[in-house]
Amino acid sequence: MANLLFITVGLPLLGGLLSLVTHRNPKTSIFWGFTCSGIAALAGLVLGLIVLFTGLPVHFDLPWSVFNIPLGFTAGPLSAFFLAVISIVNLAVSVFSFGYVKEYVGKHNIGLLGLLYNLFIFSMAALVVSDNALMFLFFWEMMSLTSYFLVVYDHQSCHVRRAGFIYIIMTHIGTLFIFLAFLLMYREAGGFSFSQFTAVGHDLPIKLKTIIFLLVTVGFGTKAGIVPLHIWLPRAHPAAPSNVSAVMSGVMIKTAVFGFIKVVIEIMGGGPVWWGILILILGSISALLGVMYALMEHDIKRLLAYHSVENIGIIMIGLGVSIIFLGVGNNRLAMLGLVAGLFHVLNHALFKGLLFLAAGSVHFSTRTRDIEKLGGLLKKMPWTGFFFLIGAVAISAIPPFNGFVSEWLTFQSLLMLGTDSASPLLNILGPLCAALLALTGALAATCFVKAFGIQFLALPRSENAEQAREVPVSMRLGMGILALLCFLFGIGPVIVISLLNSVTTALLGVETLSLLSGYRWLNVTSMLGTGTGISPISLLVVLGVGILLIFTLLRTVGKAGTTRMDETWNCGMELSPRMEYSATSFSKPIRIIFRKLFQPKREIHKEYNLEPYFTSSISYKGSIKPVFEQAIYRPLTRISIKIADKIRILQSGSVHLYLAYIAVTLVVLLIFAR
């Protein structure tokens, strides 16, 4: 199995180099770049499944060390789960990319794209199996830098360059907090190995544990995109090529979830109850605000990026519940929250990867991301429309697809806070957060009714939409892999819950078998008591029978199945796309209801043939206030600039002064070294 680990982390390096070397021949470059990443994905998936089934970690030592610190990779149950998630998405995206990256041939260096993509995949895979904190930070930085260069790959646009600039600043701020947390643990453990961290982590003083917890919450929360640290995400994800966006949203932000779980649960063993309450509140706010801002977007990739904020919030809700129950010493219920969070990590990777690939297919065929300029694509691109619909149903937590089960488990864990907790605060907080999660789900369904309906139904709203054609087979196959898994894990969630058994056993000492009941391939239950189980296959059967009965009833009462076709009555006027419901009008009721948050602005410009009686044209432009940027980041930016102006005097250009700085620094270090 060590060979599988070597292939998983080593083959992308070879693929990236071969792709760069053969960049003058785009077909060869594409072949090497994405074939090697696809094979590495298969190896990583097999390795992850073997470790999850057996519960036995796999170790691989590197033949060198840094500062006498041995370097190596270890795939334990938690690492194996995240490695499997990364590999699934990488496999689908690699297949998709064979057709998709042809869009960039003749415009950009394809070999560079292949190199950066493979380095990106390599850094994420190496990150989750790193043996020590130094390697973790090294690969974390490599992941950040390669993803930055992928974000600005289409660097001719000033919007892309600005998105990359904001992303690299935010990610390095987060890295600083993680680095400080690791330094504090190093001081106590006497080494950088994660095994050394774990040996002392449970027994750290509570004040020190709290400082580390807050540091990793900010550090990993920045990369994950929780509110209010999310401002880079709706800018960076749309700027990157769509195959890269699928990986960034599907798995890159999950590496932050991995880091958070590893430090807070695996190394420190949880903490006080208020830690979990903080994470639960942050998760609930992120989920609700993420979907609300998504509803206001008409750029399909920005819309999907905000849904990443929403779903990271849902994941954090499950983790928050788990930390709360760890704080009260109830590991059995902590397992329920952890399973809900990890299950949603996998589910979000699948349906968000699928949706970004479908959005990339639409852009590939129409050259626009503005859904107001689309419409009627279902007839032009039936496979893409079908796959987008599956992703939309899954992300809306509607059975029989996978998003339903993980959100159902999250609801169960929240309701447990309201029934099993002795704290009045938790008795209130659990149902309240469950209500916010329910509202989030309803708004998500509303958003994807808009996203699917405006893009794929009615009449085309532009010439590009009118001339759209279905995408190549490789792109459809990549989307099909993820769509199939969304359905498979929706009707067979026991597969994932069984695989998570080794993870929860290693972290909490509790098996997941209590979540399975009756015929394990059929039923999933919770620990709330009787009557709270679900049977996904039974739900599928009920839905199928219901649809069949409705269809039969309509055929029976519809004049023996005859259909009468006629033109739609429109007051004698010819139907045109201008009469269709727009995305702006669809989302306007939500914008009005939550206007205190959105603070919408609109500009209406009218031109007249005879003022004020005969209007020749009306133009409308609406926008919402960037609340977080104006309330938090712009003031911080102004303060930082003022401080920089004040301390600029230190950079005088005098060599003698710089030597004095060095001397003073050495003296201070010698004093503290004693």
Do 316 and 437 belong to one domain?
yes
Per-residue pLDDT tens digits for 148-157? 999 999 888 8
Length of the chain: 674
Q: How many domains does the chain have?
A: 2
Q: What is the pLDDT of residue 577?
A: 76
For residue 61, name the pLDDT band (cuts at 50, 70, 90): confident
Residue 336, pLDDT above cutoff 60: yes
Residues 351 and 472 in one domain: yes
Mean pLDDT of 85-110: 92
- Cα–Cα distance list, 424 to 5, 334, 416 (Å): 48, 19, 13
Has residue 196 got a pLDDT over 80? yes
- pLDDT, residue 420, reads 66
Residue 169 lies in a domain: no
Between the ranges 115-119, 373-377, 640-644, where is the mean pLDDT highest?
A: 115-119
Q: Are residues 511 and 652 in the same domain?
A: no
What pLDDT band is residue 674 in, cutting at 50, 70 and 90? low
Residues 390 and 307 in one domain: yes
Q: How far apart are CA 292 and CA 287, in angstroms?
A: 9
* 553/633 same-domain check: no
Q: What is the rounded CA–CA span in Å between residue 31 and residue 118?
A: 13
What is the pTM for the complete model shown? 0.92
Does residue 571 belong to any structural domain of this protein? no
Residue 219 makes CB contacts below 8 A (sequence gap 6+) with 174, 175, 176, 177, 178, 179, 181, 259
DSSP per-residue string spanning 255-267:
HHHHHHHIIIIII
Cα 407 to Cα 345: distance, rounded to the nearest angstrom: 11
**Quick one: residue 397, left, alpha or beta (phi over 0 = left, psi -120 to 50 = alpha)?**
left
pLDDT the model gives residue 305: 94
Domain boundary (508, 526, 558) is at 558
- Please say if the pLDDT value at position 637 is more than 60: yes
Q: What is the pLDDT of residue 506?
A: 93
Determine the pLDDT at residue 528: 64
Q: Give 502's pLDDT tier (boundaries 50, 70, 90).
A: very high
282/515: higher pLDDT: 282
Q: According to the model, what pLDDT value does residue 640 have?
A: 86
Residues 377 and 498 in one domain: yes
pLDDT score at 535: 84
- Same domain as 640, residue 554: no
Instruction: Please give the angle made by the CA atoms of 236, 586 and 317, to the nearest 5 degrees.
Output: 50
Asked if 437 and 545 sit in the same domain, the reply is yes
> Cβ(500)–Cβ(339) under 8 Å?
yes
Distances (CA, A) of 534 to 244, 434, 644, 651: 36, 18, 58, 66
Q: What is the pLDDT of residue 673?
A: 63
Beta bridge partners, 58, equal 75
- 304: which residues sit within 8 A by CB, 6+ positions away? 237, 245, 249, 294, 352, 355, 356, 359
Give domain status of residue 572, yes or no. no
Within a domain: residue 295?
yes
Report the DSSP beta bridge partners of residue 621. Answer: 603
Residue that has been written with the tokens 């960076």 in this structure: 236
* Residue 15: inside a domain: no
Q: Identify the three-state secondary structure at position 105.
A: strand
Is residue 529 domain-shared with residue 638, that is, in the same domain?
Answer: no
State the pLDDT confidence band at 559, using cuts at 50, 70 and 90. Answer: low
Among residues 114, 147, 321, the alpha carbon closest in space to that of 225 is found at 147
Residues 6+ apart with CB under 8 A from 158: none
Q: What pLDDT band is residue 200 in, cutting at 50, 70 and 90?
A: very high
Q: Are 418 and 288 in contact (CB under 8 A)?
A: no
Q: Do 554 and 642 share a domain, yes or no?
A: no
What DSSP letter does each residue of 18-60 carry, written as one string? HHHHTTTSHHHHHHHHHHHHHHHHHHHHHHHHHHHHH---EEE
- Rounded Cα distance, 410 and 429, in Å: 14
Give the span between the Cα atoms of 520 and 531, in whole angstroms. Answer: 16
State pLDDT tens for residues 15-46.
Answer: 999 999 998 899 999 999 999 999 999 999 99
pLDDT value at position 113? 93
| Maximal C-alpha separation, the chain | 97
The H or E element spanning position 614 is: strand 614-623
Last residue of a domain, one of 500, 527, 558: 558
Yes or no: say if 585 and 576 are a contact pair by the CB < 8 Å rule: no
The mean-pLDDT minimum among 78-82, 461-465, 496-500, 537-541 falls in 537-541
Is 599 inside a domain boundary?
Answer: no
Residue 530: is its pLDDT beyond 70? Answer: no
Give me the helix-helix angle, 300-327 and 424-456, nearest 10°.
160
Domain assignment of residue 321, given as a range: 270-558
Q: For the chain, state the CA radius of gyration.
A: 26
Whether 293 and 348 have beta carbons less than 8 Å apart is answered as: no
- Could you report the per-residue pLDDT of 608-634, keeping only the tens digit for each? 877 777 777 777 777 787 888 888 888
565-586 per-position pLDDT tens digit = 777 777 767 777 777 778 888 8
Residues paired with residue 517 on neighbouring β-strands, in sequence order: 523
Q: Give the whole-angstrom CA distance, residue 524 versus residue 534.
A: 5
Mean pLDDT of 306-331: 94
Domain final residue, candidates 520, 537, 558? 558
Amino acid 295: pLDDT: 92
Give the span between the Cα atoms of 181 and 375, in whole angstroms: 49
CB atoms within 10 A of CB 364: 21
Q: Are residues 443 and 554 in the same domain?
A: yes
The two tokens of residue 566 are: 């006629």
pLDDT the model gives residue 27: 92
Which of 591, 577, 304 has the alpha carbon at shortest distance from 458?
Answer: 577
Q: What are 395-449's pLDDT values in tens digits?
A: 999 988 999 999 999 999 998 887 766 678 888 898 899 999 999 999 999 999 9
For the ranges 122-136, 193-207, 522-536, 627-641, the lowest mean pLDDT is seen at 522-536
Shared domain for 280 and 376, answered yes or no, is yes
Average pLDDT, the chain: 89
Within a domain: 228: no
What tokens appear for 266 in the block?
């695996």
CA distances from 289 to 343, 395, 471, 594 (A): 22, 16, 34, 11
pLDDT for 562: 65
Alpha-carbon dihedral sign for residues 354, 341, 215, 196: negative
Instruction: Enumerate residues 6+ apart whose C-beta is below 8 A from 392.
Output: 355, 448, 451, 452
Q: pLDDT grade, residue 320 (50/70/90)?
A: very high
What does the block give as tokens for 71? Answer: 């370097």
- Residue 373 domain-assigned? yes
Burial class (CB in 10 A: 0-12, 13-18, 19+), 547: exposed
Q: Evaluate the omega torsion of the peptide bond into residue 536 and state whether it is cis, within 30 degrees of 0.
A: no
Across 59-63, 195-199, 471-475, 546-550, least confident range: 59-63
Q: How confident is the model at residue 670 (pLDDT cuts 50, 70, 90)?
A: confident
Cα–Cα distance between 542 and 263 in angstroms, integer?
Answer: 43
- What pLDDT is recorded for position 504? 95
**pLDDT at residue 422, as a whole number:** 62
To the nearest whole percent, how much of the chain has pLDDT over 90? 61
Helices then strands, each counted (H, E), the chain: 28, 6
